[in-house]
Amino acid sequence: MLSRVANHIYWLGRYLERAENYARFIDVNFNLMQDLPVDLKEQWQPLVAATGDWDLFISKNQKFEKNEVLYFLAFDLENPNSMLSAISRARENARIIRENLSKETWEKTNQLYMMMQEGADKKIWKKVDPRPFFEKVKNQILLIYGIADSSVARVEGWYFRQLGQFLERADKTSRILDVKYHILLPSGQDVGTPLDFLHWMALLKSVTGFNTYRRVYGNIDPSNVVEFLVLNKYFPRSIYYCLKEAESCLHHISGNRDGGFINPAEKAAGELRSHLEFAEVKEIIDYGLHEYLDNLQIKMNKLSDLIDSTYFRLRDNFISQNQDQ
Amino acid sequence: MKIEGYQSKEHYDEMFTSEGDVRPHYQEFFQNLKKTPYKKMNHLQFSANQTQRAMGMTFNVYHDNQGLEKILHLDIVPRIIPNEEWKKLESGLKQRTYALNLFLQDIYNDQKILKDGVVPSDLILGSKDFLKPCIGLTPPKGIWCHITGTDLIKNKDGEYYILEDNLRCPSGVSYMLESREIIKRAFPNLFNKGGVMPVSDYPAKLLKILQFLSNKSKPVVGVLTPGIYNSAYYEHSYLALQMGVELVNGVDLIVEDNKVFMQTTHGLQQIDVLYRRIDDVFMDPLTFRPDSMLGVPGIFNAYKAGNIALANAPGTGVADDKAVYAYVPKIIKYYLDEDPILNNVPTYLCREEKDRQYVLDHIEELVVKETNAAGGYGMLIGPKATKEEHAKFKELIKSNPNNYIAQPTLSLSTVPTLCEEGGLEGRHVDLRPYILYGKEIEVIPGALTRVALRKGSLVVNSSQGGGSKDTWVLYN
């Protein structure tokens, strides 16, 4: 597969995952708001914090009001990570490599983009209840996944998209956990109040993990939540699970059947995965969750860079030609 | 729906005679049309628009700030061509393509036609499209113009006239293919009953002629695109997808030992044939324009060494120049000793003093064109232009006569078209069939019919308010 094409597919996977996560974050937060006691102000700051675009938001807005936050997260093209930005770029990536996508995948991605544009035209962020819109967008993305799942050949392109998707997901899970945990921690040792409960529930729902968590652990307990979201072996949004899948994608791409590593990207992915595989939640808490997650994010960014240098970087054909002659 | 009051007197109409009778080859469609309520037609048109949008069938416009991607409007009323008429077109186009290919081979090698004075030497050798690096070259299998998209119109006399030979990178074929799929959904019962010849095997045929250029048993083929900002990017990716080959940008390719390689995730992979949709002079910054960022440095040497086949071959542009056009009947006669089957439009060359004077004296009756412009730009339609425009073009012609030709204003035929105001009205159309040159020359039984959507307009170019129609060539 062309390196350039692989690069676009990888980013297509990342951007779609990013947009889907944002759609869910917004939905969950909106639900949470409705359950908060009347004397508590709506809390939209944590959502902005979770996306890592706090500084940009502050530079553009004075207050964390619903309309401003929704606009910023969903429709603001000046925010490079807003849903509209992510979906525009997903669509742009898809358009560039359209010949490598199935007709349906392209058409649904194109529709997704038009859907977002329409939402922007209708100023959805001003709606009293914008949830149906975000639900629709989320479902459209899930539809794209579904089509891919049942129609895309499991060859290189598939694994590059998966690779992008899982790395993005690992990143998003770590961020939302980091922020929410931070806010909750002061009272977190004792999850007794209904308010605490609502917040923890919202966190788990943000990663569609609430019901699964319940089945596995029962009661809400901060360290259990951390274990679930960072180390769980089976939950498809835990950081460990995402990294395990990413490593497996890399092996499929290179054809490495013997384990270990045959390129720097595989080495980095394998090290990261095994680190989590043998970690205990107590170690994480003792180390400091924030520091731990920060560290993970740095390593995941490094992994992304190594994937880039291993597979995507192009040689300058002009320089090569001049050396030739 | 009712089709009363339809005007078919002034121009040749493809569906109706000047008496208002339905022509036989439109009979089947007309019967269906009569039964279809107006509302239903509008709905079919609406669905067609929606489908195009969903498919992302877009082209990019440079001179427009309303956004980059546009949809080429597809009118659902087809242009139908009876088989007999098509047969003549087909043989005429084959003849023309064959002759032009011989012409290209000749002017880059022995230059007999120039030495014999049939075509003026300076017209060819002085043309900016005559590529000196191609002198002495014979492309693989001796084929220069693998893909041609010739523009024709039908005049008031009911005869086809060649307007332009597009031998470089004619675009629009994806519209021919996709439009057909959409129109099949709009009139599902008509295709079989009406006996419409299929076009859907075009990508397979294209792939075959490309593979034919290599001597390898399993050559690696690719489509080379200037990239996503090119107006025809949709088509490039569409063709790559349909042929199942890679769509490559210049940056994807690298030349080593005069061989061309793709940069893949598993290292370098050699590529043998490129259907290149990049203009000649942008192909290789080492041979042609050094500022080209689109091309592949060193690819021309690889081509000369016979390690990569390029379709179309570099250098074909010199033969579809609007001034060379005037000589094509002579070119056919010279190489084939045959009379041209298809008409040329009488053409006045402003480079010739006698012709120039005629043009200056009759500018208000003539269509003046720049010899090297495409897309309907740099053009004056005398009868529709103002006095100021006439004067401006006279000056332009005098200051650079080589750059202009003129032709009598032709009356483009019309086809009923659904109009925004409602109802069917005649709109002017042209015709662009596609010709593939591989082992043999083949004309695809279909075409891109471009339609000038504005009332009375003769400009069918997509960049200037043109739309398209599906083109049905009938079995009988």
- Alpha-carbon dihedral angle through residues A116, A117, A122, A124, given to the nearest 10 degrees: 30
Say yes or no for a CB contact (<8 Å) between A111 and B54.
yes
Confidence grade of residue B377 (pLDDT, cut at 50, 70, 90):
low
Single out the residue of B330, B343, B325 nearest to residue B114, CA to CA: B330
Single out the residue of A42, A5, A77, A312 nearest to residue A202, CA to CA: A42
Give the contacts of B145 (CB within 8 A, at least 6 positions apart): B97, B100, B101, B104, B167, B312, B313, B316, B319, B437
Q: State residue A185's pLDDT score.
A: 58
Mean predicted confidence (pLDDT) in B325-343: 96
Q: State residue A134's pLDDT score.
A: 94
Cβ-nearest to B264 among A2, A96, A107: A2
Q: State residue B465's pLDDT score.
A: 76
Mean predicted confidence (pLDDT) in A306-322: 85
Confidence grade of residue B132 (pLDDT, cut at 50, 70, 90):
very high
What does the pLDDT look like over B247-302, one tens digit per residue? Answer: 999 999 999 999 999 999 999 999 999 999 999 889 998 888 888 778 899 999 99
Q: State residue B65's pLDDT score.
A: 41
Q: Is residue B173 part of a domain?
A: no
- DSSP one-letter code for B429: B
Contact status of B265 with chain A (Cβ, < 8 Å): yes
| Domain, as residue range, for B386 | 348-408
Q: Does the pLDDT of residue A324 top 60, yes or no?
A: no
Say yes or no for a CB contact (<8 Å) between B285 and A320.
no
**Strands B246-248 and B221-224, bridge-based pairing:** parallel
Q: State residue A31's pLDDT score.
A: 82
Q: Compute the nearest-CA separation of A3 from chain B (Å).
A: 5
Confidence grade of residue A315 (pLDDT, cut at 50, 70, 90):
confident
Single out the residue of B173, B112, B123, B183 nearest to residue B148, CA to CA: B173
Q: Does the pLDDT of residue A295 top 70, yes or no?
A: yes
Among A93, A97, A99, A118, most B C-beta atoms within 10 A, so best to mutate, is A99
Question: How large a percentage of chain B has pLDDT more than 90?
Answer: 69
Q: State residue A325's pLDDT score.
A: 45
Say yes or no for a CB contact (<8 Å) between A324 and B255.
yes
Neighbouring C-alpha atoms within 13 Å toward the C-beta of A194: 4
How far apart are the C-alpha atoms of A111 and A307, rounded to whole Å? Answer: 30
Tokens at A59, concatenated: 């530079």
Among B245, B265, B277, B287, most A C-beta atoms within 10 A, so best to mutate, is B265
Q: Is residue B298 part of a domain?
A: no
Q: Does the pLDDT of residue A191 top 60, yes or no?
A: no
Q: Does the pLDDT of residue B152 top 90, yes or no?
A: yes
Cβ-nearest to A99 among B240, B253, B256: B240
Say yes or no for a CB contact (<8 Å) between A95 and B240.
no
Q: State residue B5's pLDDT score.
A: 76
CATH of residue B353: 3.30.1490.270
Q: What is the mean pLDDT of chain A?
A: 90
pTM of the model: 0.88
Q: Are B467 and B451 in contact (CB under 8 A)?
A: yes
DSSP characters for B140-200? GGG-S-SEEE-EEEE-TTS-EEEEE---S----HHHHHHHHHHHHHHSTTHHHHHTBPP-T
Mean predicted confidence (pLDDT) in B168-194: 90
Single out the residue of B165, B198, B163, B199 nearest to residue B312, CA to CA: B165
Q: State residue B31's pLDDT score.
A: 92
Say yes or no for a CB contact (<8 Å) between B248 and A315.
no
Neighbouring C-alpha atoms within 13 Å toward the C-beta of B417: 28
What does the pLDDT look like over B286-296, one tens digit per residue? Answer: 888 888 778 89
Mean predicted confidence (pLDDT) in A297-317: 94
Residue of A nearest to B251 (CA): A317
Candidate from B114-128, B150-164, B300-314, B408-422 with smallest mean pLDDT: B408-422
What does the pLDDT look like over B12-47, one tens digit per residue? Answer: 999 999 988 999 999 999 999 989 888 899 999 999
User: Is residue B73 helix, strand or coil?
Assistant: coil
Say yes or no for a CB contact (<8 Å) between B285 and A318.
yes
User: Is residue A189 helix, strand or coil?
Assistant: coil
Q: State residue A192's pLDDT score.
A: 63
Contact status of B56 with chain A (Cβ, < 8 Å): yes
Q: State residue A189's pLDDT score.
A: 54
Give the contacts of B66 (CB within 8 A, at least 6 positions apart): none
Q: Is residue B307 part of a domain?
A: no
Mean predicted confidence (pLDDT) in A268-280: 97
Q: State residue A96's pLDDT score.
A: 87
Residue of A nearest to B236 (CA): A99
Q: State residue B63's pLDDT score.
A: 46
Mean predicted confidence (pLDDT) in B202-214: 97
Residue of A nearest to B261 (CA): A317
Q: Alpha carbon of B23 to those of B82, B211, B417, B433: distances in Å?
A: 10, 42, 16, 22
How far apart are the C-alpha atoms of B449 and B354, rounded to whole Å? Answer: 35
Q: Are B8 and B414 in contact (CB under 8 A)?
A: yes
DSSP characters for A12-79? HHHHHHHHHHHHHHHHHHHHHHHHS-TTSPP--HHHHHHHT-HHHHHHH-SS--HHHHHIIIII-TTS
DSSP characters for A281-294? HHHHHHH-HHHHHH
Q: State residue B2's pLDDT score.
A: 64
The full 3-state SS of B14-26, as one line of letters, equals: CCECCCCCECHHH
DSSP characters for B336-359? H----SSEEPP-EETTSHHHHHHH
ipTM score? 0.84
Say yes or no for a CB contact (<8 Å) between A317 and B296.
yes
Task: Tell me how many domains chain B contains.
Answer: 1
Q: Is residue B399 part of a domain?
A: yes
